[in-house]
Homo-oligomer: A and B are copies of this chain.
Amino acid sequence: MTSPRATLIQVARRAGVSLASTSRALHGTGASPAMVERVRAAAEELGYRPHETGRSLRMKRTFQVAFAVADIGNPVYIEMLTAIHAVLAPHGYRVVVMSTGGTVASTVDLVHSLDGGFVDGMIISPLRVDDAFVTAVEEATVPVVVIGRSLADHGIDSVSTDSTGGIVQAVDHLVAVGRRRIGFLNGPLDTTPGEARQRGFDAATRTAAFTAANGGTEVAEDFTVTAGLAAAHRLLDRADDAGTPLDAVVAANDLLAIGAIRAAGERGLTVPGDLAVTGMDDTDIGRVFQPSLTSVSLGSGRRGHLAAELVLGLVDDGEERGRYVTVGPELIVRESSVSAPTPSPSPRKEDA
């Protein structure tokens, strides 16, 4: 029942020594063994716990790091959060989750809120990067690491991936396994990922050897299964009408890919027999799906891990700002793109 929390000064009195000595003894620096013992005992008796806020005010450090995303609940961000937490917690940092989805109007406001000084640093994965955002980050009072496009030339620590190249890998793979007519199922083009992935598909099908394989692009309303289902039907319809039916679909993420697989099912097509499908992000859901989903991993966990290490360097070790690190895309081939099936799911813990 809400015990009255002992303060350092109480411990000092109990031990019969000064406040300063008490602090030093507890911190283990520059105190005689006798003093340490005496203070430790007093602290123990009173069940003393240092008050973080007092500590923070004095030390000008909160031992907190913010992780900001547009939408928690998105599996990709969750993987990042897990990784970030895993590297930060052992260093004594708490992770504060922030989201633009809630109250804060914009990403820019979110960055501005850092001036409140409630965290020592921030990791942010913005949907869009514009000038206002860059300026806000440049002027932020605490170090910020951006996951997404590289802003290293602005002196902003960044960790990025290459989703453009990832889409190219997917296309190459499908051609390599004998597919001849490949459609692209993308999400909204006015998002950073949508735009980058479109570039990938365009690039992959631009070379003479592949141009014939371009079965067209269809844009889903968002990056979800239902949107993917509808858009996949449009994509397949279009190709059928043109008399050049598709034998493969590259989707801009796993959920769209699952939508495509459902669409195939509704049309009586088998996957991968009649239609090969690839996704992107290598999510849990794709791993356990039937057929298991060939997907381009963008190393969400790895990116989170690296971002956390960057922020740690900035905050703990006074590292110079503006470092830039990137995680390459990796194609994970599973059942949905090749007729000879591959090993099975790699699941994860669950339940509550």
Q: Find out whether the CB atom of A103 lies under 8 angstroms from the CB atom of B89.
A: yes
Nearest-Cβ distance from residue A117 to partner chain B, whole angstroms = 5
Binds B, one of A11-19, A47-55, A201-209, A323-331: A47-55
Contact partners of A142 in chain B: CB under 8 A: 2
Q: In residues 215-240 of chain A, which contact B (Cβ within 8 Å)? A: 222-227, 229
Complex CA distance for A345 and B72, rounded to whole angstroms: 20
A166 in contact (CB, < 8 A): no
Contact partners of A75 in chain B: CB under 8 A: 350
Complex CA distance for A138 and B262, rounded to whole angstroms: 51
A258 in contact (CB, < 8 A): yes
- CB 8 Å contact bits of A53-88 with B (1 = contact, 0 = none): 110110000101000010111111111111001100
Complex CA distance for A43 and B121, rounded to whole angstroms: 24
Q: Find out whether the CB atom of A118 lies under 8 angstroms from the CB atom of B347.
A: no
Name A223's closest neighbour in chain B (CB-CB). B351
Q: Find out whether the CB atom of B52 lies under 8 angstroms from the CB atom of A116.
A: yes
Q: Find out whether the CB atom of B74 lies under 8 angstroms from the CB atom of A352.
A: yes
Name A266's closest neighbour in chain B (CB-CB). B344
- CB 8 Å contact bits of A138-172 with B (1 = contact, 0 = none): 11111000011000000100000000000000000
A243 in contact (CB, < 8 A): no
Contact partners of A254 in chain B: CB under 8 A: 350
Nearest-Cβ distance from residue A198 to partner chain B, whole angstroms = 13
Q: Find out whether the CB atom of A225 lies under 8 angstroms from the CB atom of B351.
A: no
Name A125's closest neighbour in chain B (CB-CB). B352
A267 in contact (CB, < 8 A): no
Q: Find out whether the CB atom of B225 lies under 8 angstroms from the CB atom of A345.
A: yes
Q: Find out whether the CB atom of B82 lies under 8 angstroms from the CB atom of A73.
A: yes
- Check A79/B74 contact, CB under 8 A, given A57-B53, A347-B225, A352-B193: no
Q: Find out whether the CB atom of A115 lies under 8 angstroms from the CB atom of B225.
A: no
- Check A226/B290 contact, CB under 8 A, given A54-B57, A90-B102: no
Q: Find out whether the CB atom of A53 lies under 8 angstroms from the CB atom of B117.
A: yes
A99 in contact (CB, < 8 A): yes
Q: Find out whether the CB atom of B85 lies under 8 angstroms from the CB atom of A97.
A: yes
Nearest-Cβ distance from residue A84 to partner chain B, whole angstroms = 9
Q: Find out whether the CB atom of B62 lies under 8 angstroms from the CB atom of A85.
A: no
Binds B, one of A20-28, A32-40, A280-288: A280-288
Nearest-Cβ distance from residue A23 to partner chain B, whole angstroms = 16
Candidates B1, B5, B72; contact of A115 at CB < 8 Å: B5
Complex CA distance for A147 and B352, rounded to whole angstroms: 9
Residues of chain A having any CB pair with chain B under 8 Å? 1-3, 5, 47, 49-54, 56-57, 62, 64, 69, 71-82, 85-86, 89-90, 94-99, 101-104, 112-113, 115-118, 125, 138-142, 147-148, 155, 187, 191, 193, 222-227, 229, 252-255, 258-259, 261-262, 265, 281, 283-285, 288-290, 300, 344-352
Q: Beyond the given A74-B350, A74-B351, A265-B290, could you list 11 further A-B residue pairs with CB under 8 A, ordered by the A residue number? A: A3-B141, A5-B117, A5-B141, A71-B349, A73-B348, A85-B99, A96-B97, A226-B344, A261-B290, A262-B344, A283-B350
3 smallest A-B Cβ distances: which pairs?
A89-B102, A225-B347, A49-B115
